[in-house]
Structure 1
Amino acid sequence: MLEFAGFLPFLLIIGMAAIQLGLVGYGANQAGSAARAAARAESLTPGTGQAAATASTSTWLDPAAAIGTGDTVTAEVTVHVPAIIPLFDGWDIHRTATMPNDKTDDGS
């Protein structure tokens, strides 16, 4: 019993680190999906990329998109993954996606 009590803090830290690693992976996946959705939406209808990025991401990740247009549409989405281990502040994860711009200068 005493050995288990001494080892319990290590088990808790390992468990929390595993959960944190899962959250970071989830945040990276959400940022990539949001970047693709934002670039796709912006290439089809200008001005809709930010809304598409926000709609395709969990709100607790606080997504923010930066969109650049030209011959291609590039969307960079940043999400903030909060830390569950008290020693850390959390992580910002950036993902970028580029899509061809379907809108041309002649309006077609």
Structure 2
Amino acid sequence: MSGTRTVRRAVRTVRAVCSVRTARAAGAVRSARAAGTRAGEPGRGAPRKRPGERERGASSLELAGMLPLLLLVAMAAIQLGVAGYAVQQAGTGARAAARIASRDDFSDDYAASGRAAMSQWTASRSKFSLGGAEDEVKVTTKVTIPSVVPGVDDFGDASRSATMPRD
């Protein structure tokens, strides 16, 4: 029985010591909150603000800082799409012009038919050239790539060729 009493007494002592330490820590946290500091830090004098008040407007500043970069990426993506569209339209115009140029009775109208197959936006910026051998016709179409970036006027030309056998 004496062994059990000793163990019980030791458990009570440990519990008492732990509860005293817990009470001291809780009191330090309460007094630190009242002083506006964290537990264990020297007092700063001013009460702490709530988390929502400390960071009010931070996201607006972050957006304002990132906005030029986001606009630059968006403009680059749009310009890449416009360049791809110009290349596709150059291929369409070249195929249509080569189809007409391969026919003997309509061969003079190849540029007009190539422009008719393209959208008006790219047709006004296109140039057609005719070449080839006796048994085939090769039409090359160049389309100036329009710019969506202010101040930059020239992004080069998109060029595509199409070859058709003569009729």
**Comparing both structures, which one devotes a greater share of its residues to helix?**
2
**How many correspondences in the alignment?**
102
Which among 55, 58, 71 is matched to residue 135 of structure 2?
Answer: 71
Which among 61, 66, 77 is matched to residue 18 of structure 1?
Answer: 77
Secondary structure (helix, strand or coil) at the match of 1:82 reads: coil
Which deviates further from its counterpart, 53-62 or 2-11? 53-62
Give the unaligned 5+ runs of structure 2: 1-59
Separation (CA, whole Å) in 1 of partners of 2:94 and 2:88: 10
Report the residue type matching 1:14 in the other structure.
V
TM-score w.r.t. the length of structure 2 is 0.58
Report the residue type matching 1:56 in the other structure.
A
RMSD: 1.3
- Report the Cα offset of residue 87 of structure 1: 5.2
In the alignment, structure 1 residue 38 sits paired with structure 2 residue 97: yes
Separation (CA, whole Å) in 2 of partners of 1:67 and 1:59: 21
Q: State percent identity of aligned pairs.
A: 44
Runs of 4+ in 1 over 3 A off after TM superposition: none
Report the residue type matching 1:60 in the other structure.
W
**Which has the greater radius of gyration?**
2
Which residue is equivalent to 1:60?
Answer: 121
Which residue is equivalent to 1:106?
Answer: none
Higher RCO (CA-CA < 8 Å; seq separation 6+) = 1
